[in-house]
Chains A and B, each alone.
Chain A
Amino acid sequence: MPYLYGDPLKCTGCRICELYCSLCHERVLNPKKARLRVVRMEPAIDKPIACRQCADPPCAKVCPTNAIARNAAADMVAVDEAKCIGCGTCVEACPFGAIWLHPERKVAIKCDLCGACVPRCPVGALSIVTGEQFANRRRAELIARLKPIMLERVRVPRD
């Protein structure tokens, strides 16, 4: 189950991702039409927020027209705009604030994992990962920190 992860320690809050997202989805520049948002909070916090593609998505559960569902083939949560009535119940249900209404068309929009923003982030703060990959990364980071200590106790050839 991959999702778009934004690293708050790398993010500088420039919001280039929002612009590219709206450009690629809507052919205009407008952060309010982007499928992800960067939240800036003082002091010094910048955090990109996008849909987590939940296994049991609350937005889908509360949708009165069944416009939102997990798409097993694409392995993500998708909105069927034809069914969406723009009631905004999904907006209330999402615990991350990661789904909202398009300012003009008034249909629910959210990250569709197109990945346009990922390589364009100037600081590499964005990635599409699964929980498994994320935890792997964390484990590897931890072990990398412990490596020098462990190497002191292991006999390996040194340069």
Chain B
Amino acid sequence: MAPASHALSARKLLARDWRGGELGVLLTALILAVGIVVGISAFVARLQTALEQESLRFLAADLVVSSRTEPPETWAEQAGGLDLATASTLAFPSMVFADNDAMHLASVKAVTDTYPLRGELRHSATPYGELATARSVPAPGEVWLAPRLFALLGVDTGDTVSVGEAGFIVSGALRAEPDAAGSMFSYGPRLMMNMVDIPATGVVQPGSRVNHRLLLGGNNDALTEFTDWIKPRLDQGQRLLGLEDSQPRINQTLDRARGFLLLAGSLAVVLAAAAIALAARRFSERHADYVAVMKSLGASTGYISRLYASSLFLLGVLATVLGCAVGWLIQAGFFMAFADQLPVTPGSSGISPYGVGAATALVCLGFFAWPPLRRLSQVPPLRVLRRSSESMGAQRPLDYVLSALAMVGLMLWYSGDVALTGGVVLGVAITVGVGFLLAKGLLRGSRKAGMRAGSVWRLALAGLQRRSNSSALQMVIFAIAIMLLLVLTIIRTSLFDQWQAQLPPGTPNHFVINVAPEERSDFAAFLATENISRERLYPMTRGRVMAVNEEALAERDSVDSDRRQRESNFTWSESVPEGNALIAGSWWSPGTSESLVSLEQDFAESIGAVLGDRLSLRIGADSLVVTVASIRTLDWQSMKPNFFMVFPREVLEGYPSMFMTSFFLPEGQKLALNTLVKEFPTVTVIELDLVIKEIRGIIDQVGVAIEMVLGVIVLAGALVLVAGVQASVDVRIRESALLRALGARKGLLLGALWIEFTVLGLMSGLLAVLGAEAAAALLQARALDLSYSPSYAVWPLGLAIGGGVIGIVGVWSCRRVASSAPLTVLREV
């Protein structure tokens, strides 16, 4: 036969099947599988680019070269040649003088007009006045001061201050700069000026302790080229700062959300694959007669295989195209829902999500739809004479193994997370393995119960028991679908709870550092008077780690080593600080005078220290050696004072220290900060209310995205239920039609169908609940870093979905039995 006639027949076959309504579930399941995968991949890819940009805000650039000396002109020229945008900053400590003779040490930062390349500057006309985004940097001859510098110098907007030999007009208050992190604890309050004014001040001389930064922004290729070019040219005291050096605050939140979305996507693929397998099985069963007739009319096995393979190929192409369109709509919908809240515009997703979608279609078709269709070519032509004589060969165990492997491979590839995939596989394995045995047991038990019940029950339960193998299989498939829905519900709930718990109303939104020991009680009293609740006051001593086990660490600006000296804030505490968790070692007993220290996990890694190591420290002019007694993790998003290094009280108390705390200030009370900096001029206030608001906004919007994904997953789950019910509808309709022909009342038949499907559904719900608890426990503990507790709330939900939905879908699918003449039904099936 000519190949052209194959293509023609494959197309016709599909068209005819479409008219006959046999392709609906199969095509929908395929489109849904592709659509969900594309939608979520594209969403996550775009979110990733947004996240990276968000992180880069904290550098104010894509890449930064930091230098103690003025960078050579050639650096900027090279950057310009590569079409990279550039900006320069220069930071140094300097005394600032006011006309009233007041003076204070400030941390001066001079910037060029293009600063910042990423993120934005925020300022206000007066200290703590109404906040605005700055469209430019301070004009030449003008400066912006940190709010507390106004109080320290006793100046207002419009007054004059001088730095070195130059005088400047104070034109506003600097409230936020993207790359402020790291400079908050040093030198004192910020003064920002224009770079062109630097020569006039005369304060920057060769050998001055200054920090030059060349900020670069542009596309990745150019940045990589620049990085390769500059690396060999860096001297002592010059460093490259990239993405890993920035300090994103919202990554953990978004990372968890991303994990959840990928999990949801994987589950959706499992569900869609199950629906595809069921639909393909039914499709092939319904086509067995078709094939037998074609064979009796002379079609060869090769022809049948080619015909169904090309049909499947056409179906795959159609589903991929439509699925990609659906996926594009899904991700566009997500971003439409929360574009306003994202701090940066998400980039393009690229074409790879669509490739992932096409690969999903290929795997689903090859491993789930093709095995039952391939068996069609084995249908014996004799079936036209004796329908029951032989049917298709049984599905090979190898097919099941390959399908399972394909599924696991797809999930692994898609989520890129072994623990996540493992959790889902475990849950599914428990549901399938234990479930199948339990299902048969439950069915046998229900049959015994049915013997003693009325005729409706006996009829229904006998039906289930008679088809116990296929009923058990159906039950397990329903259970998997319900289980996956429940897992998502459980995890979504605990994710939301955790987010809520992380930033409850009243979370501290301001940090205060540099409270002098003698100011402690006055400061506490001030906050009490203003009705502001605060965390405890932590002592804070500035110190530096010089050596680990007597092995000296490299200079801070060294380019040769990753392990450098680290300057940090030390504190003391007699108990594990709130929100910290020990992961190694033990806490000291209160009152100890042993020279011990507790390190934060990442900090310990950065200096290469482990439990029991000796650290040589320098505090001011003093040296001391301490032993690492414990390693801690802490939650950086708690907005409470957190410390890398904690000591016993006795060890640190003798050193000079300042105190810090954090407190919650409602929006309306913002001006209280003016009074605070006037009364305590040496205190530094760090405003985090904007960051918290940003995090809250993102959490809310990610929540919306998650709800939307859940909606799509519910659709996939419903599809599995429909496909599963349909798989057994033909035989049920035939039996019911026979019973009707024998005189059974409509009510009896419908009653029996209700009972049959509801019992099946309730048993599936029970299995699902057990599987869901097991999977959720593993996923929460291992993959999503959440704490596990049993979710009793999902038990009634699982049973309700099982009994209710399967009952309704089942009876609805078989409704023709009651409404059409039995002869019509018998003739059709």
Whether A and B are associated in the same complex: the answer reads no
